[in-house]
Amino acid sequence: MKRLTGWALAVGAGWALVSGAGGAEVFPREGWVEAPNPLASEWAEKGGMLVAYMGPYPKSFNYYLDQNVMSAEVFGQFFETLMTQHPLTLELEPLLAERCVLEDDRRTFTFYMNPQARWSDGRPVTAEDARWTFEAVMDPKHLTGPHKIGLERFEPPEALDEMTIRFRAKEEHWQNLLTLAGLQVLPKHAFEGRDFNLQNFEFPVVSGPYRLGVIRDGLQVTLERRADWWAADLPRFRKLANFDQLRFRFFEDRENAFQAFQKGELDLFPVYTAHVWRNQTTGERYARNWIVKQEIANQKPVGFQGLALNLRRPPLDDPRVRRALGHLYHREKMNATLMHNAYELHRSYYEDLYDPAQPCPNESLAFDKDRARALLAEAGWRADSGTGILMKDGRPLRLRYLSRGGTDDKFTAIFQEDLKDVGIELVVDKKDWAAWSKDMDEYHFDMTWAAWSAGLFKNPESMWSSREADRPSGQNITGFRNPVVDALIEAQRTEFDVQVRHGLVREIDEILAREIPYVLLWFTRGTRLLWWNKFGMPEAPLGKYGDERSAFSLWWYDPDPAADLSHARKTGRVLAPRPARAVYKEPQVGRAEGGQGAE
């Protein structure tokens, strides 16, 4: 759900300020110079269009109002942040602000706006725009949910003059600088006087590389590259944002999106399901290399997915019931029979904090009906002699599974049968994306499938803090509360050593594994990607940390391969193959591109 956008630092992403020994610090660091992006290709050209699948149609393209992958990507192409990050080192670099000074009190941050930065109507991006954006996000009437969490640590900012804004933190926190640097600034003159909660699909004034083109409600949106983008000629950005148009098509059902890709209606398709990758990517288009099939391995952080359990109400407020459900979800069978054993089974909410030198101590909940029955009996549930349904205090053990349908149906059917066998009734309530989102915003569910991406550095606060359990539209969707976890979250807030901080997160992870707010499922490392063979791309197709969405900024439409593809499809000709697997390697000194090994 939560993602880094191509141009913005999403709240909760990964960059940590190293606590200094005293004295003011300036960002970017001394010695920084404007230079080409080391992951972009010198051969990139402007032009053409990329058509990509972007999930179900969101309720808003305003990421401040609707925190999901689709809105984050679209919004991030329109509105830039105060500062950005180097794609390899993650050091802060100028964007809407040309520099930030952190005073020696570690709580005062002064941003000096970039005099080159302009809105699409020609007006300068000012300190007042940044101040107004902060106030808009923090307004209690505005449904900006999780975006308030980081900004709550600051006093209202002060615009010292047209080009200078000062923020003062109420408390020291390792993420303070990142939170401010990642503030996506909105144009005050375009938003002021309007109901912010209704600013969903119209953005006439932007600062980013793309503007909003034509929307076909519920179906697709086209973004148009801005020839007048203020940063277009900076060396860092010159070979990025290459497509004249980005068209995002929306499908409720991922299978329908895949069929559209197969027909050539989509150019790019990430494959999240093993049976599609194994069984549905064969035939003439693949054998003749008209469609490229490639697994891309880089240093992308590992998120998690699972069945989110609503702990706010019975029976899921009982950890014994939750653990029983974990023993009744037959992950091993599903992985073997439905997914060709292509996945690793989750043991952690933070898989990439463990390695052979730091193994994960969490128990992996194996399928075990006897253990589940014992836990349910211990929790006071007894089978009705007539129906076999588990009862307690005159109530049946009936759970409502809030589903968006599609790919989870076959898994849910297996789960439903195993639950029925021990006396649990699972009612599947299918909703479209809009209705599902509304129920989730109001926490009207017992369980649902949820998948979360991850940042390089972990901040557990928004998902696991007790303070976030009842925030409308928040990330603590399970309503998890635990005083020990709260204390560990509090401790990590002021810990600037990332290794120590990640040690605290591992302690949190052990508690989560015991408490089971989610029935954890499975994961895979890397990105499985399909695309029609008509694009140019750098040696590292998705960069160092990126996923499929990195293609939107790093790739380009190449007329020569496009002509070859068109001719090959007419004549049946075989195109040259691409490697089946691409592995990221650090760029060599002096090279302009990232490296990739082929397998």
pLDDT at 543 over 50: yes
Clarify whether residues 446 and 490 are in a common domain.
Answer: yes
Q: Cα separation of 561 and 118, whole Å?
A: 36
Q: What is the pLDDT of residue 474?
A: 86
Q: What is the pLDDT of residue 441?
A: 87
Q: What is the pLDDT of residue 129?
A: 98
pLDDT band at 592 (very low <50, low <70, confident <90, very high): very low
Q: What's the token pair of residue 65?
A: 């109002």
CB 464 within 8 A of CB 508: yes
Residue spans of alpha helices (H) in 33-167: 69-78, 127-138, 147-151
Clarify whether residues 451 and 375 are in a common domain.
Answer: yes
Clarify whether residues 468 and 565 are in a common domain.
Answer: no
Beta bridge partners of 536: 556
Clarify whether residues 487 and 560 are in a common domain.
Answer: no
Angle between helices 369-378 and 319-328 (to 10 degrees): 160
Domain total of the chain? 3
Q: What angle do CA 590, 298, 237 make, to 5 degrees?
A: 50
Clarify whether residues 142 and 283 are in a common domain.
Answer: no
Clarify whether residues 513 and 534 are in a common domain.
Answer: no
- pTM value is 0.86
User: What percentage of the chain exceeds 90 in pLDDT?
Assistant: 87
Clarify whether residues 519 and 533 are in a common domain.
Answer: no
Q: Cα separation of 541 and 501, whole Å?
A: 31
- Residue of higher predicted confidence among 545 and 21: 545
Q: Among 447, 449, 409, 450, which residue's Cα sits nearest to residue 425?
A: 447
Is 242 exposed, middle or buried (CB count within 10 Å of its CB: 0-12, 13-18, 19+)?
buried
Amino acid at 92: L
Residue spans of alpha helices (H) in 339-475: 369-378, 409-422, 433-441, 461-464
Residue spans of alpha helices (H) in 192-303: 254-262, 274-279, 284-287
Its domain, for residue 60, covers 25-198
Rounded average pLDDT over 287-306: 96
Clarify whether residues 511 and 534 are in a common domain.
Answer: no
Clarify whether residues 309 and 289 are in a common domain.
Answer: no
User: Based on C-alpha coordinates, what's the Rg of the chain?
Assistant: 25
434-480 confidence digits (pLDDT tens): 889 889 988 999 999 999 989 888 999 999 999 999 988 889 999 99
Q: Among 224, 180, 195, 188, which residue's Cα sits nearest to residue 92?
A: 180
Residue 507 belongs to domain with CATH number: 3.10.105.10
* Mean pLDDT across the chain: 92
Clarify whether residues 392 and 479 are in a common domain.
Answer: yes
User: Among 523, 539, 568, which residue terminates a domain?
Assistant: 523
Ranges 55-64, 274-283, 474-483, 589-598: which has the least confidence: 589-598
pLDDT band at 369 (very low <50, low <70, confident <90, very high): very high
Q: What's the token pair of residue 221?
A: 């949106």
Number of neighbours of residue 49 by Cβ within 10 angstroms: 15
Residue 96 belongs to domain with CATH number: 3.90.76.10
Q: What's the token pair of residue 565?
A: 């593809």
Tell whether 174 is covered by a domain: yes
pLDDT band at 22 (very low <50, low <70, confident <90, very high): low
187-236 confidence digits (pLDDT tens): 999 999 999 999 999 999 999 999 999 999 999 999 999 999 999 999 99
pLDDT band at 381 (very low <50, low <70, confident <90, very high): very high
User: Position of tokens 């020569």?
Assistant: 560
Tell whether 229 is covered by a domain: no
Tell whether 237 is covered by a domain: no
Give backbone dihedrals phi and psi of 204, rounded to 5 degrees, phi first. -70, -20
Number of neighbours of residue 277 by Cβ within 10 angstroms: 18
Q: Among 372, 380, 273, 359, which residue's Cα sits nearest to residue 330?
A: 372
Tell whether 244 is covered by a domain: no
Q: What angle do CA 557, 559, 562 make, to 5 degrees?
A: 85
pLDDT at 13 over 70: no
Q: What is the pLDDT of residue 404?
A: 86
